Structure 1
Amino acid sequence: MFDDRIDAGARLAARLGGTPHADALVLGLPRGGVPVSAVVAEELGAPLDVIVVRKLGVPWQPEVAMGAIAEGDARVIDQRLLEQLRVPPMIVTEVEARERRTLDDRLALLRRGRAAESLAGRTAIVVDDGLATGSTAEAACRAARARGAARVVLAAPVGPRDAASRVPSADEVVVAETPADFHAVGQAYRDFSPVSEEEVVLLLDDARRRAAGESWRRMVGIRSADVTVTTATGGLRGILAAPEDAVGAVVFAHGSGSSRHSPRNRVVAQTLQRAGFATLVLDLLSVSEEEHRENVFDIPLLGSRLVDAVTWVGGHGWTRALPIGLFGASTGAGAALWAAAEPDCPVLAVVSRGGRPDLAGARLADVDCPVLLVVGGADAPTLQFNQAARQALGDRCRMVVVPDATHLFEEPGALAEVAMLARDWFVRHLAAVRPDAPGPGAP
C-alpha cells in the first residue's frame, strides 16, 4: 500500500529507473496522475507536461465510461457497451462535444498559455495514479502517439494483472503493484485525497522552473509532524513541515472559519515547501475560543501569540536559525502585521491573502519589512481595506490584484496565482538570507 501519491511516484520511478530515458517526456493525467508524474519526472531527470483526458460517461449512468477523449483527436469508444446499453450515436456526439469543451478549458488553465512540449521522436511516459478500465490510459497513449512520440510507455503505481492488455496503444506498460484482489485504485492508498486544479498548475510550474535550472527542493523527503506550539497563553496546535536544507520558514496565520487543515493553506504551504521553505500552519485560537466572535478580531491577542510562534520556530530543531516570514489570511493578516511591528520580532517578510491588514491599525507604521498584499479583483470591500493599508505601509509594500477573484480565491487558477506570488516574494526576501544550517531535531 502507498502512503500517498508522492510515495507512489517514488516507487514507480524506481521501477522505471532501470531503463534509459534520456529523451523522455513525462506526461501526467490530471488530476490525480500529476503528483505521481511530478515525482517520476524529478527522479528520472525528465521534463513534465500533462496530457488531458476526459471520460465519456453514459448520461443516465455517469460513472460508467462508454469511452474517453484526449487532446488532439484521440478517441476511444467502447462499442460493445454502447450496444449493450443502447446508447444512440446522437447521445455519444452530444457527450463528446460537451467533454471536448471542458477538455479545452482545462488545457488552457493548466498550460497557462504555454505550448505543449514537443513529443516528436521522443519517448512519452504517460503516468496516472492507477489503472482501472484502461480507457483513459488508452486515449492518452493514442494522443501521445498522435503528437509524434516514437515510443509510448504507460506507467501506473497500481492496476490489474492484465493491465498490458487494456492499453494496446502502449509499447510498454509498467505497473508497480498488481494485487490479486484489485478492485479500485483508491484501495492501494492510505491517503487518496482529491487533487485540485490549483495543485496541478503549481506542480507544472515547479517542474518548468526546475527544468530551467532554478534551485528546487525534491518532492520526496519533506518531513511533517503535528506539533504543539508553546505561547504565554497556552499551547497552539499546528502542523510543521520542513524540506531538508530549508532556506527559510513561513508561519501561517489564518482567520476565522479556517484551520490548520484548510485545503487553501495546504496548497500554499506545499508550494512553499517545494521552494525550500519550512512551514508552520497553526490555529491561533482554540475551538472554544473561536466560539466567541470578539476573539476573532482581537488582533493584539492573535498577534502576541504569533510572536510566540515565531520564537518557537526559531528554536526548533528543524527550523533553528532560519529567516522567518509570515503568511496571513483574513484577520490573520492583521495579526501578522501586528507581530511584524513588534520591535524584537525577527520577521523579514509578510504576505497577506485576501486579508485585513488594516486591522493592525497604527502599528502598520512600525512595520519595516517587505509586505505583499494579494487581493481579489472582485472582492470590493477587502480591496478598499488593502488600499488603505498599502498607503499606511508606504514604499515597503506592494499590492497585487488577481483579476476576477473573490474573497476565497475559489475561481480556477486564482489560488495557484496566490501561491506563486507568495513563493516568489519569500524567495526574494528570505532565501537570499544565508542562515546557519539547521541542526537535527524532532518535533
Structure 2
Amino acid sequence: MINFHSIDKEFDKKHIWHPYTSMLNPLPSYGVTHTNENKIYLDTGEELIDGMASWWSAIHGYNHPRLVSAIQSQASTMSHIMFGGITHAPAVELCKKLINITPKSLDRVFLADSGSVSVEVAIKMALQYWISKGQTSKTKLMTAQKGYHGDTFAAMSVCDPINSMHSMYQGFLPEHIFVSAPKAKFDEQCTDTELQLLEQAFVKHHHDVAAFIIEPIVQNAGGMNFYSPSYLAKLRQLCNKYDVLLILDEIATGFGRTGKMFACEHANIEPDIMCIGKALTGGTMTLSATLTNQKVAVGLSEGEAGVLMHGPTFMGNPLACAVANASINLLFENNWQAQVERVNLAMSALKRCESLSSVVNVRTLGAIGVVEIDKVVNVAKIQKFFIKKGVWIRPFGKLIYIMPPYVSSSADIRELANAIYDAINEQQY
C-alpha cells in the first residue's frame, strides 16, 4: 500500500510537470495528504484555509459525504461505459437537470470531459452549423480581448492574443477577430461609444464570423475583468441582428459563482451555445457539457455530415455524471444563493487593501474577490508567505484573488483577506 503521508517531492520536482511551471526552475509544489471541507492538509503538518476551491471547482468543499457516496455507489455498479450507441441513467438524469437550470432555449446537451473540450465542441457546433447552411465563408470567430477559454488549440485561438499565456503560439493558431475588452464595470452602463465600436466590428466582419465567444460578466484567467451586463445584452442584440451565433463560456462563472446560477442571467439573455464545467461535479471529477438550442442542433444535423463530428472516449462517464447529479442537488438543498451572499459579505474585508499604495483596485462579485496590484506577483515568494499564514491562495499576474468554496465560514474568508493584506503590506510578493 502506498503511504500517502510520504511524498517523494524530489522525484516530483525532477520528473513531473505541474501547470504553468518550468522543468528547469519549477515553482515549489507543496505535498498534500488530505482535504476536508474547506481545509487543505500538508505533509509538513500545516492546515490551510482554501481560497481557491481547486481552481474554482470545489464549491461544496472537499470530501462532502453526499458526493463521496454518489461516487462509491456508482463505482459499485458501473464506473464507465462507452457512450456510442449506449445510454445510462446518470447521464439522462444529469442532462434533465442541466436543461432545467440553464436558459430555457438550451435543450440539447453534449457531455464532454473537460472545460477546454467543451469549448472545442462549441466551436465545432458553430462552424458546422454554418457549413450545413451552405454559408462556407463564416469560418471565423469573434471575441473580446482579455478572454481565456482553455488550453487546447481551438480554445487557445480565442484567448487574448497578446497578453494571455498562449500568445507564444501566434502563427500556429487559427487567426480570429478580436474586439476591445468590455470597459464599463459591472455596476455601470456601457457608453454609446463603446457599443458603437462593438457594432462596427459586426458590420465589418459578420459575413466571415460564425460565432462570438465570451465569458459572461467576468473575464476570469485573462484578468478578472468584471464588466457591465449592458455589454452582454447589446452583444446578444448584435448577434441576432447580424446573424452570428453567441457562445457563452460559463465554465468558471456557472453554478452560482457570480451570484446568479449562470452569469448570463445578470443580463437576462440566452446564448445559442453554452459551455459549463469546473463546479459541475463539485470539484470531484473532470466533466463538462456544451448545451445548445434546437436551431443549432437541428441545423448542423441537416448538413452533409448529418452528425456533430466529436466523441470523446469518456463522454458521459457514469461516475462523473452521478456525482454531478449529487452536486446539483446539494446546490439547491444548501441554498446556494444564501451561501454566496454570505461569502460576498465576508469578502468586504478585502476593501482594507485599498489603503495600500501598491493596490490598483479591489473588486468583488458573488463568491469572487480580487485585489489587483501594480506589479507581477512572485508566486513562489507569496505562496511561501501564505503557507505561514495558514491559507492557500495562488495568484497570477498582478492579481491576488480568492474564489473559495461556498461552505467557507465568514471567519475563514476574513482570514484569507487578512493574509492578502499582510502579504501586500509586508511586500511579500
Q: Which category describes the TM-score, using the shorter chain as reference length? A: under 0.3
Normalising to structure 2: TM-score of the pair?
A: 0.26
Normalising to structure 1: TM-score of the pair?
A: 0.25
The structure richer in strand per residue is 1
Q: Higher RCO, 1 or 2 (CA under 8 Å, sep at least 6)?
A: 2
